[in-house]
Structure 1
Amino acid sequence: MSDQQVPPPGAQRLWRVGRSAWAWLGILGIAAVVLYVISTVSLLVIPVVLALFPATLLRPVADALRKVNVPDALASLLAILLAIGVIAGVIGAMVPLVAGQIPELVESASEGVDEIEAWLDREPFGLQVGGVADLIETAQEQLGDMGEYAGQAAEAAYAAFEALIAFVLLFVVLFFYLKDGRRLRDGLVATVPERGRARARQVLDQAWDTLGSYFRGQLLVAFVDAVFIGIGLVILGVPLALPLAVLIFFGGLFPIVGAVTTGALAVLVALADGGLTTGLIVLGLVLLVQQLESNVLEPLILGRAIHMHPLVVLLAITAGAMLLGILGAFLAVPVAAIVARILDDVRAGPPPPLPADAVPAPGDN
């Protein structure tokens, strides 16, 4: 008999659990380091990541232009200019509508404020709140001397400068995604050892498909929000219903902040035009639609688009918002979907190997 003794089954299971626990701790440690590095170079990382989303929509446009013998660079530039033109056209169409109704809104705004003040003077719900002037005075007392915050102006200017740089960088990155997207993918695959290139290429392709599905689903959710709230504004006779619906659509592309901001704008316009009652009705409409979006539309539409259970979508959005705020909520679902598809691929076994000439060697053009 050998001197070595085989551990009992219970000890073997405990050893396997311990090994798995250390592996997960290592993965979490690497993830924490990656998040820290990303936070230190966020000015570079954020445009690179966000440019992927419009690239998934504009890539078919650029490909269609290439089919009619338009050069790659020109096709990519024309696709971006077309998108900018569409957005600028929508905004330009809204300006005359807004400008034509500004005098009416300014006149009715004072009436709406007077109605709120009168309602507050009646001490609703037994609360001695006082009028609007009292609320403003109380807020000023709570804020104190705003002069001591003057130093924050420089920080705000620096933040605006960073935002401008990030905006310009986003368009530059978007241009190269459209022009050289496949070469960039193949270059990344070429850095992987040859035995893992098929898996790497499959992961990158599926990540691209997942991002496209997510962004198209988010557009659909925003469109539904804009349609339902816009119809409600038209029925109530609120002015600027069409421009507000367009703003709600664009706001729906940015979780939390966009929906809250555009919804609040619709409530203010309704309040200024129709008084407190109309404002409260629009507030209820906005809250109802946003609740349906968060709890029904977004999980169902996005969940189906990226093949994830609605509960997983909700948990991913919540976790992303807790970790990285608005950006985390926007990126959480596609990241979770990509991870889920990678795990599915690992369980399904290795993909077929790539042809020898499918991926260039490192350094090749």
Structure 2
Amino acid sequence: MRIQNAFRLALVGTLGVGAGLLILSAVASLSTILTYVGVALFLALGLEPAISGLERRGLPRWAAILLVVLGVAALVAALLLTVIPIIVEQVGELIALIPVIIAQLNRVDWIEWLQEQFPLLKIDEISEQAAAALTDFFTNPDKLSELLGGVWQVALAIGSGVFAVIVVAVLTVYFTASLDAMKRATYQLVPASRRARFADLTEQITQSVGRYVIGQVSLAAVNGVLSFAFLSIIQAPFPAVLAFVAFLFSLVPLVGTLTGSIIIVLACLIPGVGSPLTALVAAIYYLVYMQIEAYVLAPRIMSRAVRVPGALVVVAALAGGALLGILGALVAIPTAAAILLIIKQVVIPRQNER
């Protein structure tokens, strides 16, 4: 190889590596924005089945979009107006009960109890060291400034969360209104000979994602409503708050219901407002409910949405959560369904033709 060609090859390779690193750096810098876009597109696809259903009934697309968006907005507003006052009231009750809970805890000589349970540990020395560390923390200006900085970070996180919700809502409306135009523009990038096949696969995938979103929200709503009814019957502490927790966590597939159930059971153990018996009854209820959800509700609700083997569901959800967090867990199952669809309708037929 001549030196000139070797230099040219090295230069092109270096530029290629640099361009790749630049692209990766840009993706990392835009990760938050890409997450907003991904969530908004996911929600827009979830609204698409309802819009298509109204179109089949004779409504023009703009009217169907307007009706669905207004319906969702009215539903969210009604839910917030119904749930938020109850949650605020019950959170206020919880704050008011904090002195009672502390008094309940102070009735027990924890040092003596711990010493009886763990006789080999020097509980007195440990408690003295802990008290000295707390005193040093609150009298040290540097550590107090760190604490205030942490409070400021929490405030910024809350503000960022509110901003994210607003941005995702606006993007969802935009994507919902322009979804057809976006798909048509994408189809134009495919060669004409393959355009019809590509369009058919895209429609199947988007419909599958939309049905999956509706199915997951339906499962979460069932869990939230049943949780509120059951927790109210057994007089669990703050049933509205805990039912809202059950609804939110149930939106996350695979592990969401389990995580929310554990939090609810632990909340039923709060001294002064809960009891071990209430927690035990709640634990039994959620064990039974998770079996019913897994073997009765989920198959019936999700059977038309995505057809993915159970083992692949677990692997996809775990991999998606590890890579992209909650967003990854949400989109992992429809992504796996889309890949399976492409394999069945594209890859396997091509292999059979050879």
Instruction: Please list, as runs of the form range in 1=range in 2, the aligned pairs for 1:1-365 lying within 5 A after superposition.
Output: 38-63=27-52, 72-73=61-62, 75-98=64-87, 105-106=94-95, 108-118=97-107, 121=110, 122-123=113-114, 126-127=117-118, 140=134, 145-148=143-146, 150=148, 163-242=161-240, 244-254=242-252, 260=259, 264=263, 267-268=266-267, 271=270, 274-278=273-277, 280-281=279-280, 284-285=283-284, 288=287, 292=291, 304=303, 305-349=305-349
CA distance in 2, matches of 1:267, 1:313: 28
C-alpha displacement at 1:116, in angstroms?
A: 4.2
Show CA shifts across 1:101-132 (max 9, x none).
Answer: 567545544434444455672339824779xx
| Residues 233, 241 of structure 1: 8 Å contact kept | yes
State the partner residue of 2:7. none
Structure 1's unaligned 5+ residue stretches are 1-30, 351-365
Deviations 1:193-244 (A, max 9, x none): 2233233213321221221232233224323433553344133212542453
Q: How many residues matched?
A: 318
For the structure 1 residues 147 and 39, does the alpha-carbon distance in structure 2 shift closer, same or farther, using more than 3 Å as the test? same
Q: Provide the identity percentage.
A: 22
Return 5+ residue gaps in structure 2 as ranges: 1-19
Q: Give the Cα separation in 2 of the matches to 1:139 and 1:62.
A: 60
> Structure 2: how far apart are the matches of 1:58 and 1:117?
53
1:246-289 Cα shifts (integer Å, max 9, x gaps): 44213321456797468636743662653442564367358736
Task: Tell me, in whole angstroms, the C-alpha distance in 2 between the residues paired with 1:104 and 1:154.
Answer: 26
- Deviation, structure 1 residue 343: 0.9
80-89 or 271-280: bigger deviation: 271-280
Give the secondary structure class of the aligned counterpart of 2:273.
helix
8 A contact 1:222–1:252 mirrored in 2: yes
CA RMSD of aligned residues (A): 4.5
CA distance in 1, matches of 2:283, 2:133: 26
**Residues 244 and 262 in structure 1, CA contact (< 8 A), matched pair in contact too:** no
Which deviates more, 317-326 or 158-167? 158-167
What is the TM-score with the length of structure 1 in the denominator? 0.67
